[in-house]
């Protein structure tokens, strides 16, 4: 994405506030958004929903790295409804496992 001219979106104050409400205190507090390795499927969904609501975000890349406590299949199922966010590209990469 970056090689093709893409850039990380500067997260708006509203987006940062929304993330602060739903993510653990140790999240990355910037872009890229790290929702932490213990994230359950609903945290992925909520984080993607928040990103999609930011007018500056033209697309989202979701990366899941399998951990002992993650549920990759259920996470994918949670994110399916975001695959067609109006006018925004959503890409997913499931790594490992």
**Residue ranges per structural domain of the chain:** 13-95
The secondary structure of 29-53 as a DSSP string is SSSS----TT--HHHHHHHHHHHHH
What pLDDT band is residue 97 in, cutting at 50, 70 and 90? low
Domain 13-95 CATH assignment equals 3.40.50.261: yes
For 41-90, how does the pLDDT look when each residue is reduced to its tens digit (9 = 90+)? 999 999 999 999 999 999 999 999 988 888 999 999 999 988 877 788 89
Q: Which residue has the tokens 């990355």?
A: 28
pLDDT for residue 53 = 94
The enclosing H or E element of 64 equals strand 59-65
């Amino acid at each position: 994405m970056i090689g093709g001219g893409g850039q990380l979106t500067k997260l708006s104050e509203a987006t940062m506030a929304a993330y602060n409400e739903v993510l653990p205190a140790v999240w990355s507090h910037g872009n890229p958004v790290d929702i932490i390795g213990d994230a359950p499927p609903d945290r992925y969904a909520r984080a993607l929903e928040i990103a999609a609501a930011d007018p500056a975000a033209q697309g989202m890349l979701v990366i899941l790295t399998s951990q002992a406590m993650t549920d990759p299949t259920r996470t994918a199922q949670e994110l399916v409804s975001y695959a067609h966010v109006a006018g925004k590209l959503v890409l997913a990469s499931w790594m490992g496992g």
